[in-house]
Structure 1
Amino acid sequence: MTDYRPGQCNIGRAERRKRLGFGAAGLLATGALVAVLVVLGLPPLAFLVTIVPLYAGLLGVLQAKESFCVGFAKQGVYDVSESGEGRRDVSDEAYRRADRIHAVALAIEALVGATVGAACLYLFGLVV
């Protein structure tokens, strides 16, 4: 079993699987969206809309990789159980603060990745 570590780990195996599934869905949606944009022959600027599913996909994958849920950090809870049914409150304010800081860092990392990815897809749209 994984242990809760403030600002480092707030989810266990079951919750990591959920985040990975969400991330995979976001990345698949990004691929499908790119395919639609290419088939429809839309202008390169249209490729920038991929930032939304790309952000969701990257955030899900990052959360799974880091064993850390951004939403749980915002709520002040954790669940490191194997079943995903052991949600507990984070009672210490210093722990909550550490969780929120890590959550913001993950969200920024996903946003930067999605922005770079969408920009690359925009450039791809210029040559397609």
Structure 2
Amino acid sequence: MARVIGLGGLFFKASDPAATRAWYADVLGIEFEPWGGVVFLPADAAAQPGAGTVFSPFSADTGYFAPSDAPFMFNLMVDDLEGVLARAARHGVHPVLRTPGEANGDFAHIMDPDGRKIELWQPRPMA
């Protein structure tokens, strides 16, 4: 159907990512994975295999959010990445980065009108 189906992730810059993760672990009980984030799985994981919401602090000097200078980036899960990109193109919005065939699915980055980077993700069921 080529639409957004959920929030795939919230990524934000932190001056000390390890201390930030420790704070979220201590205060909110979030158990981070060794790669630096956590994946919150949907209540009905069978409805969208491979989907989940990632919460992850990044180093303050990360280049991953570029060309945006915003201190955060979000990821939106989509059901048809090519369809969503076609719709975006009709509005003059084109990807600044595409990474198809990743282990977790297909990704594309676009910019919103205020210069925030949005990562679009079509999940792939995990092995």
Q: Into which bin does the TM-score normalised by the smaller protein fall?
A: under 0.3
Higher helix share: 1
Higher strand share: 2
Higher relative contact order (CA 8 A, sep 6+): 1
